[in-house]
Structure 1
Amino acid sequence: MKKYFINTLLLLFLIAGCSPKPEVKNNDNTVAENKIIVVSHRADWRNAPENSLQAIKNCIAMGVDMVEVDLNKTKDGHLILMHDRTLNRTTTGKGKPEEYTLEEIKQFYLKGGHGQKTRHKIPTFEETMELCKGKIMVNIDKGYEYFKDAYEILEKTGTVDQCIMKSDHPYEKVVEENGEVLKKMVFMPVVHLNKEGAEKIIDDYIKYLKPKAFELVFKEENPDVLRLIKKVKDSGSKIFINTLWPDLCAGHDDDRAIELGEPEESWGWVIEQGATYIQTDRPALLLEYLRFNRLHR
């Protein structure tokens, strides 16, 4: 609690010297709420085990709009939250999840950031969506290979509209593999703007799917990258940008905001490019910044 309080004071000190952005207003001249959507990477992993129900509960409590989770599958076909291909780093278990039944998986405990055993268990995707229902959006990062299985869980829990599936595959591959469910839930293409062929991937998705949002990744900032960001924005799709570390957003990252004391050169810059969704490892501090600038309730 003390560390969080100090960090919050630090951020407020940093932004106090910045000129607040103009208030974002609706047509009726009232201040808009949640102009920017805060997405918390692996939920609140700094204060609870990553991909845990507790980490998600923390995000709900602080007012985060969306949590990012990762999927894996057990030997008997249950989807669980798990980032790695093995249990080794984040749990007290060893080996791959598909080597264990769900009952066996539930005998293991999640590890915290310090690498030590906690009281928390590995949650299923169904448990996760039941927790999130009506409270917070969910962004599936690693989990495209379970697209159809995930959709079944979303249907069962009545949370189809609360979840985003994504992939960096081109449209042709995604529609071939998952065409029957592609338009039944929200799908977000991930496009690496510095890679050859990025514009064709964008064009194909705009033409055939008209996604609600694109996740745009760029290691370097140049005129062509800025042009493609604008192209996506002009298409009517929302823009999702990761500020987790420099190579995802050309150096406009979380640590630049906090450690270098340059929030306008990180989060402010991303917002100026048109980002509606910002995925962060500093959700509490990003929320403070946005609320100060009247961009979040």
Structure 2
Amino acid sequence: MNSYLKTLIVATPAFFYSLFSYAQVDNILKQLHNPNDKNILVAAHRGDWRNEPENSLRGYQLAINMGVDIIEVDLNKTSDGVIVIMHDGTIDRTTNGKGKPSDYTLAELKKFHLRNGLGIVTNNTIPTLEEVMLLAKGKVLVNLDKSLPYYEEAYQVCKKTGTLSQALFKTEVAYPEVRNRYPKLLDSLTFMPVVSLDKPEAEQVINQYQKEIKPVAFELIFKSDTSHILVKNAFIPAHGSKIWINSLWASLNGGHYDDMAVEDGNIKDSWDWIINHGARIMQTDRPKELLAYLRKRKLHN
């Protein structure tokens, strides 16, 4: 057997795994950019935090293993300018440390360990955005929450890791402000505004974004479910954008939330309600259960 054939045989499993991974994310991207696709993309909020610490690499890996399409991360920055994943303004709640991420260099921050849902300190450390993007590469999309202050740095990380197409940049501010802040960069991003339907200017905000840049999706949040946009929302996909609704907790979705489905068994007024009101992306704290339900309804690949 010649050396070329031996090399091919050894490399084949890794080669085909790589091809499979990129085919996987390509399918997700095709669905993301097709506003008329009826299947539901599932985003795991802070990873699988019920089984591993929130915003940990292990939690993200478990969510990926489940078959989610998107993982959600919260961005922060160390004193030496490294983008890390931390939801809170401090590390007090989720680690055995104290203070802000910006109080520490990355090397110092890595000495602390993440707590699990019971508050027990684990071996998991605070991940960097680069570590998460490499974990997600070729597999899932990454929802960059709390990212507006860090667009430049996050963009560079995604370019470096070859994952820019997998990153969803988002913000709650209106178009003029984000364009003024990032006049050139904005056009290079896969972008999703977050719009509060409780505000009277909500439709105006959506219309202006669609006129100027046609975002890939709109994340709609609402304490009250009485907005006319929830009923007459066809103008959003008609202009090329998907509708994203969070099923996390009641104040984000007018009371149509995950635990109503999982704990109360009331799917009609929770997940079904969200789907029936136009959502084609759902961010959940119950990814395993939501995936099973959607697959049963043939709404998830």
Structure 2 equivalent of residue 153 of structure 1? 157
**1:284–1:175 distance in 2 versus 1, CA, 3 Å:** same
Partner SS for 1:90: coil
What's the CA shift for 1:99? 0.9
Give 1:212's match in structure 2, choosing from 209, 216, 225.
Answer: 216
CA distance in 2, matches of 1:148, 1:249: 31
2:226 to 190, 208, 222: 222
DSSP 3-state at the match of 1:183: helix
The 5 Å alignment of 1:183-262 reads: 183-222=187-226, 224-227=228-231, 229-262=233-266
- Distance in 2, matches of 1:223 and 1:71, equals 30
**Secondary structure, counterpart of 2:184 in structure 1:** helix
Q: Which amino acid aligns with 1:220?
A: S
**Would you say the 8 A contact 1:230–1:273 is kept in 2?**
no
Q: Which residue of 2 aligns with 1:294?
A: 298
Query: Which residue number in structure 2 is paired with residue 138 of structure 1?
Result: 142
Q: Which has the higher contact order (CA 8 A, sep 6+)?
A: 1
The 5 Å alignment of 1:42-191 reads 42-191=46-195
Q: Closer, same or farther in 2 for the Cα pair 1:219/1:225, shift >3 Å?
A: farther
- Structure 1 residues 202 and 106: CA distance shift in structure 2, 3 A: same
> In 2, are the aligned partners of 1:71 and 1:143 still within 8 Å (CA)?
yes
Q: TM-score, normalised by structure 1?
A: 0.87
Q: Secondary structure at the match of 1:61?
A: helix
Aligned-pair identity in percent equals 49
Give unmatched runs, 5+ long, in structure 2: 1-36
Q: Deviations over 1:211-268 (max 9, x none)?
A: 1100011111225232453332332210000010111111111011112211122111
Once the two structures are superposed, residues 16-44 of structure 1 have per-residue CA deviations (whole angstroms, 9 ceiling, x without a partner) of xxxxxxxxxxxxxxxxx981100010111
- Describe the SS at the equivalent of 2:193: strand
- How much has 1:154 moved relative to structure 2? 0.3
Indicate the RMSD between aligned Cα atoms, in angstroms: 1.5
Letter in 2 for 1:204: Q
Code of the residue aligned with 1:51 in structure 2: it is N
Distance, in Å, in 1 between the alignment partners of 2:167 and 2:278 is: 22
Encode CA deviations 1:82-136: one digit per residue, 9 max, x unaligned: 0011010001111111111111011110111111100101111001101110011
**TM-score w.r.t. length of structure 2:** 0.85
Deviation by residue 1:196-223 (Cα, 9 ceiling, x = unmatched): 2111111110110111100011111225
Are the counterparts in 1 of residues 195 and 221 from structure 2 also a CA contact under 8 Å?
A: yes
- Aligned partners of 2:197 and 2:227 also within 8 Å: no
Per the alignment, do residues 82 and 139 of structure 1 end up closer, same or farther by CA in structure 2, a change over 3 Å counting?
A: same
Amino acid at match of 2:96: T
Q: Which 4+ stretches in 1 moved above 4 angstroms?
A: none
- Unpaired stretches in structure 1, ≥5 consecutive residues: 1-32
> In 2, Cα distance between the equivalents of 1:235 and 1:274?
14
CA distance in 1, matches of 2:89, 2:232: 33
The question of 1:276 aligning with 2:275 is answered no
